[in-house]
Amino acid sequence: MPRILSVASALPPHRVGQEEAKTFARGMFSRGHGDFERLLPIFDNVHVENRYFCVPVEWFERDHTFPEKNALYVEHALDLSEKAARRALDRVGAGPDEVGAIFFVSTTGISTPSIDSKLIFRLGLSEHTRRVPIWGLGCSAGAAGIARAAEHARLYPDQLILLVAVELSGLTFQRGDRSKSNLISTSLFADGAAAVLLGGTTGPEVLGSYSTTWPDTEAVMGWDLVETGLKVQLSKSVPIIVREKFRDNLEEACNSLGLDFDEIKHFVLHPGGSKVLDAFEEALGLQEGGLTTSRDVLRDCGNMSSVTVLFILERFLEGGEFAKDELGVLSAMGPGFSAEHVFFRC
C-alpha cells in the first residue's frame, strides 16, 4: 500500500484579518443592500481570524476583467505550487528524479497547458513525468487528489507520486455582486497551496478511498460563469446534508473496504465553515474539541477550498497525537454534490 511520505503548505504574502475584511465588506456591500447590517455578523460567526491572498486588499476595490483575473491565477498558482512542492520534497530529502507522476487539482482558475506542465520544469522533474490535472472538484479535490494519486502509486511502487493543490479563491471575487452568497464567500474563502508526496515505506498507509455523488444536488455548490469570471453558487443546505448523509456514507465506505467504522480514531475533515464543522460533530457523535485541528486551520487561514484539508493533514501529522496502526479518515465534500473519503493507518 502507498504511504503519505510528506505534506507541505504554502501561503501567499497578503494577510487580511477578519476585522479588516469586515471593514472592506461594509464599504463594498452596504450600498444597495438593505439587509447588510443584519448579515454583517456572518464575519464573526464563521470563526475565521486571518486569511491570506495573492493580491493586496486594495485590488478588491477595483473592477477586473476575467482575463486579468485569470492571468494573475496562472502567475501566482505556479509560484505557490512550486513552493509547496519543493517543501514536500525537501522534507524527506527526495530528488526530482524520483517523481514519476504529478497530480494537480484546482478549481479557481483556468490554464491550458495546465499548471502542472509548467511545474515540471520549475521543479526539475523528468520531461517524461506523467501529468494528471483535475479541475472542478472544488473543496473535495484535496481528498480526491490523494485518492487518485494513491491509486496511481499502487501501479508504480518504485516511484514517488506528487500531488499539488492550489486555490486562489480571492481572484474570483465579484465586486458588483451584492448577493448573500458573495457576502458569505467574502467572509470565508482564501488562497493557499499544498503538496503531498506519496510512495515509499514510511508514513501513514493509504488503505483505500470511497467516492459518492448524490443525485439532484448540482445546485448546492459551484460556479456560474459570468463576464467577469467565476461567480460563486452556494447553498445553505450543506450543514443539513452533512447531518443527514455523512455518517451513513462514511459507514458505507468502511463496509466497502472491510473496515470497522468504530475503529476510526482520527477525523481529518475539510471544514467548509464553522456550521459545517458543528454538523460533522453532531453526525459523528464527537465531543467538543473532536475537530480541533480543522477549526484551527479555518481560524488561521480560512477556507482555501481543496487545499484546506491538506493543511489540516499537515498539522495532524506534525502534531503527532496518534499511535502506530490507529485508523484515520480524511474526508471532504464539494460540488456535485459529492463526498470523498480516504482511509489511512498511522
Task: State the Cα–Cα distance between residues 88 and 185, nearest whole angstrom.
Answer: 29
pLDDT at position 38, please?
A: 75
- Residue 324 CB-density burial (10 A; 0-12 exposed, 13-18 middle, 19+ buried): exposed
The residue-averaged pLDDT of 125-153 equals 97
- Please say if the pLDDT value at position 258 is more than 80: yes
> Looking up cell 455548490, which residue turns up?
221
> pLDDT tens digits for 191-204?
999 999 999 788 99
Average pLDDT in the chain:
92
CATH of domain 205-345: 3.40.47.10
> Looking up cell 484539508, which residue turns up?
309
- Please say if the pLDDT value at position 178 is more than 70: yes
- pTM of model > 0.75: yes
Catalytic positions are 139
CATH superfamily of 4-198: Thiolase/Chalcone synthase (3.40.47.10)
Task: State the Cα–Cα distance between residues 228 and 66, nearest whole angstrom.
Answer: 5
pLDDT at position 51, please?
A: 96
Beta bridge partners of 102: 131, 162
Whether the CA torsion 110, 115, 118, 122 is positive or negative: it is positive
Q: Which residues contact 127 (CB under 8 A, 6 or more apart)?
A: 120, 121
The residue-averaged pLDDT of 230-241 equals 86
Rounded alpha-carbon distances, angstroms, from residue 111 to 117, 224, 249: 10, 18, 34
Distance of CA 346 to the CA centre of its chain: 22
Tell me what percent of the residues of the chain surpass a pLDDT of 90.
72
pLDDT at position 140, please?
A: 96
- When pLDDT is cut at 50, 70 and 90, the band that residue 30 belongs to is low
Residues of the chain with CATH 3.40.47.10: 4-198, 205-345
- When pLDDT is cut at 50, 70 and 90, the band that residue 171 belongs to is very high
HSE value, Cβ hemisphere, 13 Å, CA-based, for 132? 20
pLDDT at position 257, please?
A: 97
For 55, the grid coordinates are 493580491
Reported as type and span, the H/E element at residue 160 is strand 160-168
The count of other CB atoms within 10 Å of the CB of residue 228 is: 18
Burial profile 29-56: b = 16 or more Cβ within 10 angstroms, e = fewer: beeebeebeeebebbeebebebbbbbbe
The residue-averaged pLDDT of 141-149 equals 97
